[in-house]
Amino acid sequence: MHLLDPINFSFPLLATATQAADSSMVVAAVLLSLVVVYLASKVGGELSNQVGLPPVLGELVGGVVVGISVFHLLVFPEGGTDSSNSLIMSFLQITAGLTPEATPAVFAAQSEVISVLAELGVIILLFEIGLESNLKDLMAVGIQATVVAVVGVAVPFAAGTVGLMTLFGISAVPAIFAGAALTATSIGITSKVLSELGRLNSKEGQIILGAAVIDDVLGIIVLAVVASLAKDGVVDVSKVIYLIISATGFILGAILLGNVFNKSFVAIADKLKTRGGLVIPAFIFAFAMAYLAAVIHLEAILGAFAAGLVLEETDKRKELQRQVCPIADMLVPIFFVTVGAKTDLGVLNPAIPDNREGLIMATFLIIVAILGKVITGLSVFGQPEINRLAIGVGMIPRGEVGLVFAGVGAASGALSKPLGAAIIMMVILTTFLAPPLLRFVFPDPKTVDSGSDQLILDGSSASLVIEPPQSRVPASNDSGNLEVTPESSDR
Same domain membership, residue 154 and residue 76? no
Of 407, 425, 441, the domain-final residue = 441
Is there a contact between 133 and 357 (Cβ–Cβ < 8 Å)? no
For residue 138, name the pLDDT band (cuts at 50, 70, 90). confident
- Return the DSSP state at 198: T
Closest CA to 98 of 35, 26, 30: 26
- Of 116, 98, 94, the closest CA to residue 34 belongs to 116
Lowest mean pLDDT among 35-49, 94-108, 440-454: 440-454
Q: Among the listed ranges 58-62, 77-81, 291-295, which one has the minimum average pLDDT value?
A: 77-81
Q: Do 109 and 156 belong to one domain?
A: no
Provide the CATH number for the domain around residue 152: 1.20.1530.20
Distance CA 328, CA 313 (A): 20
User: Could you say which DSSP state residue 376 is in?
Assistant: G
DSSP E strands in 144-221: the ranges are: none
- Per residue in 367-414, pLDDT (tens digit) is 999 999 999 888 887 777 888 898 999 999 887 667 667 766 766 677
- The angle, 0 to 180 degrees and rounded to 10, between the axes of the packed helices 317-341 and 55-66 is 40
Pick the residue with more confidence: 9 or 301? 301
Closest CA to 13 of 93, 107, 116: 116
Domain-located, residue 303: yes
Give me the percent of the chain exceeding a pLDDT of 70: 81
Rounded CA separation 230/224 (Å): 10
pLDDT, tens only, 159-183: 999 999 999 988 888 888 888 889 8
Examine the pLDDT at 485 and tell me if it is beyond 70.
no
Residue span of the structural domain in which 213 resides: 134-441
Question: What is the pLDDT confidence band of residue 21, given thresholds at 50, 70 and 90?
Answer: low
The CA distance from 232 to 239, in Å, is 13
Question: Residue 287: which pLDDT band, with cuts at 50, 70 and 90?
Answer: very high
Residues 287 and 325 in one domain: yes
Residue 389 domain flag: yes
**Cβ(48)–Cβ(57) under 8 Å?**
yes
Higher pLDDT, residue 217 or 33: 33
Last residue of a domain, which of 50, 81, 113? 113
CA-based nearest residue to 396, from 359, 367, 358: 367
Q: Which residue has the higher pLDDT, 457 or 481?
A: 481
What CA–CA distance (Å, rounded) separates 9 from 23? 9
Rounded distance between C-alpha atoms, residue 131 and residue 169, angstroms: 47
80: left (phi over 0), alpha (psi -120 to 50) or beta: left
DSSP β-bridge partners for residue 456: 447, 465
Q: 295 and 359: one domain?
A: yes
Residue 324 belongs to some domain of the structure? yes
Give the single-character DSSP code of 447.
Answer: E
100 with 142, same domain? Answer: no
Q: Which of 426, 441, 456 is the last residue of a domain?
A: 441
Q: What is the DSSP string of 310-338?
A: HHHTSTTHHHHHHHHHHHHHHHHHHHHHH
How many separate domains does the chain show? 2
Averaged pLDDT, 236-258: 78
The residue among 395, 487, 383, 388 whose CA lies nearest residue 434 is 395
pTM across the whole model: 0.71
* 365 and 244 both lie in a single domain: yes
